[in-house]
Chains A and B, each alone.
Chain A
Amino acid sequence: DIQMTQSPSTLSASVGDRVTITCRASQSISRWLAWYQQKPGKAPKLLIYDASSLESGVPSRFSGSGSGTEFTLTISSLHPEDFASYYCQQYHSYSPWTFGQGTKVEIK
Chain B
Amino acid sequence: EVQLLESGGGLVQPGGSLRLSCAASGFTFSSYGMSWVRQAPGKGLDWVSVISGSSGSTYYADSVKGRFIMSRDNSKKTLYLEMSGLRAEDTAIYYCARTSGPNGGYFDSWGLGTLVSVSS
Chain A contact residues, CB within 8 Å of chain B: 34, 36, 38, 43-46, 49, 55, 87, 89, 91, 94-102
Contact in complex: A44, B59 (CB < 8 Å): no
Interface string of B88-120 (1 = CB under 8 A from A): 000000010000100111111111110000000
Minimal beta-carbon separation of B44 from chain A (angstroms): 5
Contact in complex: A43, B113 (CB < 8 Å): yes
Chain B contact residues, CB within 8 Å of chain A: 35, 37, 44-47, 50, 59-62, 95, 100, 103-113
A63 vs B44: C-alpha distance in the bound complex, in angstroms?
Answer: 22
- Given the known inter-chain contacts A91-B104, A102-B44, please indicate yes or no for A96 contacting B113, CB distance below 8 A: no
Contact in complex: B46, A99 (CB < 8 Å): yes
A100 vs B100: C-alpha distance in the bound complex, in angstroms?
Answer: 19
A45 vs B111: C-alpha distance in the bound complex, in angstroms?
Answer: 10
Contact in complex: B108, A44 (CB < 8 Å): no
Contact in complex: B61, A91 (CB < 8 Å): no
Contact in complex: A87, B45 (CB < 8 Å): yes
